[in-house]
A = this chain, B = another copy of it.
Amino acid sequence: MAKTEPRTLAGFMELLPNEQILFNQIKQTIENTYQKFGFLPLDTPVIELSEVLLAKAGGETEKQIYRFQKGENDLSLRFDLTVPLSKYVAKNYGNLSFPFRRYQIGKVYRGERTQKGRFREFYQCDIDMIGDGELDLIYDAELPSVIATIFKSLGFDKFTIRINNRKILNGLFENLGQKEASVEILRAIDKIDKIGKQAVIEELQKLKVMQAAIDTIINFIEIEGTSDEKIAKLKEFGIESEIFIQGVEELEYVVKYMRLFGIAEENFKVDLTIARGLDYYTGTVYETFLDDYRELGSVCSGGRYENLAEYYTDKKLPGVGVSIGLTRLFFKLNELNLVQATKKSIADVLIIPMLEDLSVPIRLANKLRNNGVKTEIYLNRKKLKAKFKYADKLEIPYVIIIGEDEIRANQCKVKNMETGEEKEVPFEEIEELKF
């Protein structure tokens, strides 16, 4: 028979079992944390009507969409979990309790140019808190505590949640008469880490921003100090804009409550240069960096928006949320060898029968499984060596050997595969073993 080459599309992650175990543990840590904060699970379809999914989208996003016709329907694969959330909340408004706290962990699709570490199918892990008409600002301070808990649980103590408020930037630009150009200015400022101050100034000049305004903008983004010092300097920065002042007050309030939510000083920082996208967020914005691996970029980002679902409903639904791009994060962490599985195998123990009559080994497997021990029994008739090699490759921590000698002595041999330690254990004591 002619064979088809078994291959997987570029940009689609497909892991070997040991990597998959690690990936799933990270995913589970994120999910457990979301649940610890009382977020409710959601699972929306991967496919939506294009008309619904693309009610808002445009430009870059639309080009990347997997869009196709099936029967009479114009369909698209979801490219994020926010638009499906908007649709869901608008659709189910009457059946939800607000504030609606939901998490969703699922695959999304973007036909980006493929390159190493970029994926066309990737997991997003999102949380959002949606208010009905209003959502207290204090929720903006609770969210970073979810982020902090996740990265600590993943073994990273050195991370920084960078926080800003879009109103400060918007107020500044308005005050400088640069409201129209604000999108371009933000885009230029956003690059300061990459291209440096002088290049940013040149970009602003190209945008025909007056030199006095450029000076103010540069003074602004160069405000230094601790988070509290920055806030104090902002208060004296002398921008006569209501929106600017409101932004500073909000930032101060959020920072105060972040401390109450237990976020350590070294894990957050006011950063006046971050803006997070250009038209979506309206208040608090966050980015999260692993201090020793800044090159990974932000590993968890998000912010406050005024109105989640305006394309679908007249209801005003303000919210705040963050997202983790898990597939890319995993790829990077794994590449740098920064994460280890807490348990490298699924099975706790492999039973290796070395005799014809399999009754005793099978009954032992039943018993262990009933007691919640993850148990595999090797049933192919192979040499002992092959069976041990299997346990080794799968990194199963314990092996139980049962042969004729063991049956006669009414015991089995238990081997710790890591230490090599072996001991004889009578069958009636096997349940007392900890695997």
Using a CB–CB cutoff of 8 Å, the interface residues on chain A facing chain B are: 1, 3-9, 12-17, 20-21, 23-24, 35-49, 51-52, 55, 66, 68-71, 73, 75, 86-88, 90-92, 95-99, 101-102, 107, 109, 111, 121, 131, 134-136, 138-139, 142, 145, 149, 257, 260-262, 309-314, 346-347, 350, 358-359, 362-363, 365-366, 369, 372-381, 390, 393-394, 396
Which residues from B are CB-within-8-Å of A20? Answer: 40-43
Interface pair B8/A21, CB less than 8 Å apart: no
> Nearest chain-B residue to A313 (Cβ)?
B3
Interface pair A1/B311, CB less than 8 Å apart: yes
Partner of A43 from B23, B38, B86 at Cβ < 8 Å: B23
Which residues from B are CB-within-8-Å of A262? Answer: 363, 366
Interface pair A97/B372, CB less than 8 Å apart: no
Interface pair B41/A21, CB less than 8 Å apart: yes
Interface pair A375/B87, CB less than 8 Å apart: no
> Nearest chain-B residue to A2 (Cβ)?
B311
- 18 A-B pairs, CB-CB below 8 angstroms? A1-B310, A4-B55, A5-B312, A8-B45, A8-B91, A9-B45, A17-B42, A17-B96, A20-B41, A20-B42, A24-B41, A38-B374, A38-B396, A97-B390, A101-B376, A136-B381, A261-B366, A262-B363
CA distance A71 to B111 in the complex (A): 9
Interface pair A121/B12, CB less than 8 Å apart: no
Which residues from B are CB-within-8-Å of A6? Answer: 52, 86-88, 90-91, 309, 312-313
Interface pair B16/A95, CB less than 8 Å apart: yes
Taking each of A8, A55, A66, which has the highest tally of chain B beta carbons within 10 Å of its own beta carbon?
Answer: A8
Extra contacts besides A8-B87, A8-B91, A14-B88 (11): CB < 8 Å: A4-B312, A6-B312, A7-B49, A8-B48, A9-B48, A9-B49, A20-B40, A20-B41, A66-B70, A68-B68, A135-B380
Interface pair B3/A380, CB less than 8 Å apart: no
CA distance A51 to B111 in the complex (A): 19
Q: Nearest Cβ in chain B — how far from A421, in angstroms?
A: 22
CA distance A21 to B40 in the complex (A): 8
Q: Do A347 and B8 contact each other (CB < 8 Å), given the known contacts A17-B96, A136-B380, A358-B138? A: no
> Nearest chain-B residue to A312 (Cβ)?
B6
Q: Considering the complex of A and B, which 3 residue pairs feature the smallest CB-CB distances, nearest first?
A: A38-B376, A68-B68, A38-B347
Which residues from B are CB-within-8-Å of A51? Answer: 4
Q: Nearest Cβ in chain B — how far from A94, in angstroms?
A: 11
Which residues from B are CB-within-8-Å of A24? Answer: 41, 43
Interface pair B3/A312, CB less than 8 Å apart: yes
Q: Nearest Cβ in chain B — how far from A118, in angstroms?
A: 15
Q: Do A380 and B42 contact each other (CB < 8 Å), given the known contacts A52-B6, A363-B260? A: no
Partner of A14 from B45, B68, B99 at Cβ < 8 Å: B45
Q: Nearest Cβ in chain B — how far from A80, in angstroms?
A: 16
Q: Do A3 and B311 contact each other (CB < 8 Å), given the known contacts A48-B9, A71-B111, A372-B36? A: yes
Which residues from B are CB-within-8-Å of A47? Answer: 9, 12, 66, 109, 121
Q: Do A380 and B99 contact each other (CB < 8 Å), given the known contacts A121-B45, A311-B1, A362-B257? A: yes
CA distance A17 to B6 in the complex (A): 39
